[in-house]
Amino acid sequence: MILIGKKVLVTGADGFIGSHLVEELIKEGAKVKAFVYYNSFNSWGWLDSLSKDQLKEIEVVSGDIRDPNGVRDAVNDCQIVFHLAALIAIPFSYLSPDTYVDTNIKGTLNILQASRDFSVEKVLITSTSEVYGTAQYVPIDEKHARQPQSPYSASKIGADAIADSFYRSFNLPITIVRPFNTYGPRQSARAVIPTIITQLLNGIEDIKLGDLTPTRDLLYVKDTVKGFIEIAKSDSLLGHDCNIATNSEISIRDLAQELIRQINPSAKIVVDDERVRPEGSEVFRLYGCNSKIIERTQWRPMFNLSQGLLETISWFKVSENLSRYKSEIYNI
């Protein structure tokens, strides 16, 4: 499938990955409709940081993924749907699991129902590597067991299952896209890399973190959105789930030490008990297999960790960007 001239909907377009995906789809020649979360400030989230020329290329629609009527209006006249809208913060899912069910499961159902009704040509449902839980074997491929180790993870497993059922029951052309731990410019402070970088750049020398032993497969955001686009182009992945991963891992401790080395070598790590997940909920190892996406698409990772971290640090060093973050508090 080619994307040039296709009318595409991106839900969650105001967010971290969604805003980068919108930019890349514009470059691909797609006609982009961006679905953003309604608010009384008329903020379009990270889309507000795009250039005027880029904004002229997109149609912005405000709404709520939990509202089936607004979702139907957004999906109508679109040929491809990239569904990224979700609640993603794991600690907040401990406090508000109902909201995660409403947003992640029911919101996905709204997208699927509307896509079926309007005969959408392809629907990409965004999953997460958290559905796998702590690795039972590595690298983690798409056949790995699902382990709901947090309410967030459980809600995404539910959303994936609903999507799969629509493929099997109604032949809806879906693919479940499963990025591993994406990082880069615009990522929220609830993630570990912005947490470390913003503390360091604001002169904090006692860098507060949670458990340092988990490992993560870190994927630079530009590689993530390229993965979405290449998966959208591939008809061989209909009815499949597909990892986007680097086939590598790094511990949180080693990651933090590398960022400290690059920004302020005199800083040190302090474990903050508030940031430690319940033992049964912590995912201790994520190390993804990328064989399927490499075999079935033109995607290859273009950024190694050093390159991605360099670009990320450079973005956060811009005072206008850094000022958006509250490094002195624990962002859940």
Are β-strands 174-179 and 122-126 bridged in parallel, bridged antiparallel, or unpaired? parallel
Is the sign of the CA dihedral 233, 235, 2, 18 positive or negative?
negative
Q: Is residue 132 annotated as a catalytic residue, yes or no?
A: no
Are β-strands 58-63 and 206-209 bridged in parallel, bridged antiparallel, or unpaired? unpaired
Q: d(Cα 209, Cα 204) in Å, to the nearest integer?
A: 13
Say whether 21 sits in a helix, a strand or coil. Answer: helix
Kindly name the residue from 37, 100, 132, 152 that is annotated as catalytic: 152
Q: How far is CA 249 from CA 62, 133, 170, 297, in A?
A: 37, 15, 38, 23
Alpha helices in 179-304 (DSSP H): 192-201, 221-233, 252-263, 291-296
Name residues whose C-beta falls within 8 Å of residue 17's C-beta, 6 or more positions apart in sequence. 84, 126, 179, 182, 221, 224, 225
Token pair, residue 149, equals 């180790």
User: In terms of Cα–Cα distance, which of 329, 209, 197 is closest to 269?
Assistant: 209
Question: CB-based burial of residue 68 (10 Å sphere; 0-12 exposed, 13-18 middle, 19+ buried)?
Answer: middle
Catalytic site residues? 152
